[in-house]
Structure 1
Amino acid sequence: MNSTIGPDLDLSKAQKITAFIASVGVTVFARLFIGFLCDKIGPRKSYVYLLIFGAFAVMGSAFATTWEMYLVSRMAIGVIGASFVITQYHTSVMFAPNIVGIANATTAGWGNLGGGVTQAVMPLIAAGMLAFGFAESELSKWRPAMFVPAAIMFVVAFLYWKFTTDTPKGNLEDLPEEENSTEKKSSSSAFMEALKDKRVWILFAIYAGCFGMELFVNGRAATYYQVKFALNETTAGMVAALFGLMNLFARSMGGWLGDRFSKTGGLSGRVKWLVIVMFIEGIALTIFSQMDVLGVAIATMIVFSLFVQMAEGATYSVVPFINKKALGAVAGIVGAGGNVGAVLYAQFLLRSGSSLEDAFLYFGIIVSAIGLLGLGIKFSKEDEEAAVAEQKRLEELNTELRKKQAA
């Protein structure tokens, strides 16, 4: 779509990059606010409100006629990226601790995959708009196309309102008065509690090293193959798409393995897995940057993609256990780390004058170093014992269910 929007609005390369940075940057603040909002009013209302806002933002972008209007619309659309925080909050509340890692990772991974599908489908929708006479010209066909995702968002908002609840026990307003008052009391100080916890900021940095890197590579991979291997635009795009394709299973695998590590190592086991996968991610990126043979470069990129997305899943297999009363705040701050990382990587590339090849090399070393910070994430003895007790209770419950089913 950018290949159509840019010429239609006569955007320069600098303006396109600025719009990207602004869109990703505003998501940082949106994720922080949405995390707080989830703790305050629950994930159900938060998601519905965000979807409705997003639908109007997407529709509004169709009326942009100047660079300034386009920039504002891109920033408004960037706010929708905060939906990730609500999803992670909601799955953390709804799923048991022994499977919360894979639950979080799967919803997030398929969300990222949806972004890739959107890039592939929207040009087809735009072409359809032109073919059926809803657009005046080839350049303006993107404008009516924007109403399609907006309509889908309205539908999803309705479905989310009607068929979901804040917790397994029901919506916050339906909980017993004592439970509801406890929730509200905790939410008032939850954000400050999260801000003071160094573990949150370690996870913030780690998420900048995995999801932030995914955002950066997604936006630069095609260019990398065009410049280094002289591929044409179409072929480079197809090769680069392999990077995002790993979201089909890699992020889920990272969360699932986090759950598996917790069975023998408790909460510390989840952290150890996160450190391992982050360290390997950095090494894989470093190796990828040095490959000069196309086939080998593609293979190492896929390995890197596997580990970067497993690291994302591993991160959010740890997040639910940092502070359960400040879950929204923790999820929001950590989620914002990914966008901060993407902005920093893009700024480095713009200002340093380094080639993409050198940038990938530097970033690979940095990611491995960031991964080692995870060793600073510690849990109290009480938290570890509580996690072990919960794991044992769930295993006993599963055993009883199997016996009943067998009988």
Structure 2
Amino acid sequence: MKEQQQPLTRLRIFSFKGIQMRTFHITWITFFFCFFGWFGVAPLMPLVREQLGLSKSEIGNIIIASVSATILARLLIGKMCDTLGPRISYTVLLVAGAIPVMLIGLSDSYETFLLLRFLIGIVGASFVITQFHTSMMFAPNVIGTANAVTGGWGNLGGGVTNLVMPLIAAGFAGMGLISEQDSWRLAMVVPGCILLIMAWIYYRYTQDTPQGNLKDIVSDVSGRPKKKGSFLVALKDYRVWALTLAYAACFGIEITVDNVAATFFMDRFDTGIIMAGAMASVFGGMNLFARALGGIVSDHVGRIHGMKGKGILLGILLLLEGIGIGLFAASNTLLLAIITMLLFALFLKMANGCTYGIVPFINKENIGSVSGIVGAGGNIGAMLVGFLFKAEHLSYADAFQYIGVGVFAVGVLVLFARFQPRTVKKGAAEIALDVQN
């Protein structure tokens, strides 16, 4: 088989040659812009809050709604990847997600805003396709690194969004196209249009696997379609649920911070909206390298200590993340808050990369389903901690303290989970199902 039809054994980060690297770059760029649609309105919430007269409890409901739809969407999109392939799945998702993104600017009440914010959450399922598609294009020895880089560079969009969207809104207001109070409405049209453009690019310039699109691939000379995995098999694997819990404690917290960071800095340290967005963008900016670092370290540990070593690494990262969040919550100056935020962001994003350095090896025939279940776990975590931020008797700092304790507890559980490969008998030999090399 020609090299261009095989998964790559090396990640040539600056190369666009071949369908594997072209898909790699289009995938992370698409995921990057998905954050503009998914969280574009988050740094603009102070404007929305003032115009629609939202209470703290209502803002908490909006935070929960923004990640709730993603739970079901990630489960469905994971199965779609296994059946329709990532190319068609991503195209459909981008077109469907662009609609509520552009329509949210028409909201004239808490109820309509809440509904559209909920529907926008389906865009978050883009992560599952990103990880699935990367897993199709790279060999086992670099899957963890490749997944971490596409996930990390894509997640970088969460930080850039916090910085750019207030500037877009301010730009429209400065040009006299709309009032400052309504500027958030027009600003949200921009990410909606970008999602439609990326849908066309994804459909036109990627394919499902190095061998071709899923519908064209057959398993043998008889021409019968390639066998697809079972979603129920993935659900029955305890390791899938251990990773789901871990991802709730890392990525679930990440998207929560993406949602509340700008408002937190404004309320606690009395910054302006643009400054608050810039401070929040620092957190997302860590994805430039931190998630990739987690994947690289995970691959290295895996080559030496196997899946057991990867599991222990993930548990340690979660423990350190929990400690860092506790320090962030206790910070009483802006400088200290930024320093401690960078600290827990490093471990959190490395844990993200480490989690998806394990996912592709859990069940090779159900990568999409496993990715969807674990990815949904991230949003379940975000939804649950969202209730802390809507509680009237808790400050945002109090909420972060509780989150730190919870993440530490999850780290303890994951540290003692067993991620060793399962084996099956084949004659007199035992064959490991999760071999990496």
TM norm structure 1: 0.86
* Partner residue in 2 for 1:172: 214
Change in Cα spacing, 1:333 to 1:139, as seen in structure 2 (3 Å) is same
Instruction: Output aligned runs, 1:257-268, within 5 Å.
Output: 257-268=297-308
Q: SS where residue 98 of structure 1 aligns? A: helix
Matches of 2:267 and 2:97 in 1, distance apart? 36
Alignment match of 1:129 (pick from 147, 157, 172): 172
Unaligned runs of 5+ in 2: 1-43, 425-429
The alignment status of 1:329 with 2:372, answered yes or no, reads no
Alignment match of 1:159 (pick from 201, 207, 226): 201
The Cα of 1:293 is off from its aligned counterpart by 5.6
Change in Cα spacing, 1:181 to 1:272, as seen in structure 2 (3 Å) is farther
* Partner residue in 2 for 1:254: 294
Instruction: Output aligned runs, 1:15-26, within 5 Å.
Output: 15-26=58-69
Moved more, 12-21 or 46-55: 12-21
* Partner residue in 2 for 1:299: 339
RMSD between superposed Cα atoms in Å: 2.7
Seq. identity, %: 46
Moved more, 3-12 or 312-321: 3-12
Instruction: Output aligned runs, 1:301-316, within 5 Å.
Output: 301-316=341-356
* Partner residue in 1 for 2:92: 49
Instruction: Output aligned runs, 1:172-251, within 5 Å.
Output: 172-176=214-218, 178=220, 181=224, 183=226, 185-187=227-229, 190-225=230-265, 235-251=275-291
Unaligned runs of 5+ in 1: 392-407
The Cα of 1:272 is off from its aligned counterpart by 2.0
For residues 316-351 of structure 1, give each alpha carbon's deviation from its aligned partner in whole angstroms, at most 9, with x where no partner exists: 100111111111111111111111111211213434
Are the equivalent residues in 2 in contact too, given 1:252–1:310 (CA < 8 A)?
Answer: yes
Change in Cα spacing, 1:172 to 1:251, as seen in structure 2 (3 Å) is same
Q: SS where residue 169 of structure 1 aligns? A: coil
Matches of 1:50 and 1:158 in 2, distance apart? 12
Instruction: Output aligned runs, 1:316-395, within 5 Å.
Output: 316-351=356-391, 353-374=393-414, 375-380=416-421, 382=423, 391=437
Change in Cα spacing, 1:390 to 1:239, as seen in structure 2 (3 Å) is closer
Are the equivalent residues in 1 in contact too, given 2:290–2:346 (CA < 8 A)?
Answer: yes
For residues 279-319 of structure 1, give each alpha carbon's deviation from its aligned partner in whole angstroms, at most 9, with x where no partner exists: 22122223333444654443232111100110011001001
The Cα of 1:203 is off from its aligned counterpart by 0.8
* Partner residue in 1 for 2:188: 146
Q: Figure out how many residues of one structure are paired with residues of the other and give that number.
A: 387
Alignment match of 2:153 (pick from 103, 110, 128): 110
For residues 51-78 of structure 1, give each alpha carbon's deviation from its aligned partner in whole angstroms, at most 9, with x where no partner exists: 1111222222233333332222111211
* Partner residue in 1 for 2:311: 271
TM norm structure 2: 0.80
Are the equivalent residues in 2 in contact too, given 1:266–1:388 (CA < 8 A)?
Answer: no
The Cα of 1:130 is off from its aligned counterpart by 4.0
The Cα of 1:223 is off from its aligned counterpart by 5.0
Moved more, 73-82 or 3-12: 3-12
